[in-house]
Amino acid sequence: MGIAGGLTASGSVLAVGDHAADERSVDGKSDGDGSTGTQGAAVRVAHFSPDAPNVDVYVAGDRVLADVAYGDVSPYLEVKPGTYTVMITAAGDPETVAFEGDVTFGAAFYTVAAIGELEADTFQPAVLVDAGSALVRLVHASPDAPAVDVYADGEPVFEDVAFTDATDYVPVPAGARTVSVRPAGGEAAVASFDVTLERGTAYTAYAIGYLEPPTADDPMFAVEPTVDGPMADADGDDGMDTSH
């Protein structure tokens, strides 16, 4: 069976049931509210296969969830970003494997939803990137700046973004981050600032101004962040919390 990757969750899953969790984390820990650490991923499992029995879920050989019933959605479990072998079996019967395959998790929130039917041989996990992290995009509007890379806490977020380019939104773990903008492929930052990203909020970072202003009155290169969509007016502030 294949992995249905590249999907984006359009909203929260409504059905929540009870099940046993053997472990609340895989190579990490959960703080109980679905939030992750700076470099963590958070993964939950949803059972939406109508003809499948209750299931157990194994990650890297360890059973992390037990007796998950149809309609159940697990809490988020924190994992280190990476590629893991995920196995879904009949509850209490590790020899009856409904799915086994490798799944890659980045520093974001994910739902692995079991969908399809066992009888029709369409049972598979849909790997969904949730909006539990902050969503961030970059707009390059600095006319004399080269293509840029953007890093958060030293990790690349955007690469080789040229003047007039606007990236797609990407998930970034919520919390306090140090953001740096560098010429594409370079190491020296042309701008750096601290930012606090709120979970479930979308942001745009606009690269504006001139790296080399034509006159002393022209604006210098800077990054102007905004909160996007319905959250922009939630607290009466169109920008995000930054300290330069």
CATH number of the domain encompassing residue 239: 2.60.40
125 and 138 in one domain?
A: no
Out of 129, 163, 197, pick the residue that ends a domain.
Answer: 129
What domain range includes position 160? 134-243
| Residue 46 and residue 5 in contact, taking contact as beta carbons nearer than 8 Å | no
pTM recorded for the entire structure: 0.54
Out of 97, 129, 161, pick the residue that ends a domain.
Answer: 129
d(CA 161, CA 157): 11
Comparing C-alpha atoms, which of 174, 155, 146 is closest to residue 37? 174
161 and 48 in one domain?
A: no
d(CA 153, CA 178): 5
pLDDT in tens, 48-77: 998 899 999 999 999 999 999 999 999 989
pLDDT in tens, 170-216: 988 888 999 999 999 999 999 999 999 988 899 999 999 999 999 99
| Residue 114 and residue 96 in contact, taking contact as beta carbons nearer than 8 Å | no
| Domain of residue 92, CATH code | 2.60.40.10
Out of 107, 129, 151, pick the residue that ends a domain.
Answer: 129
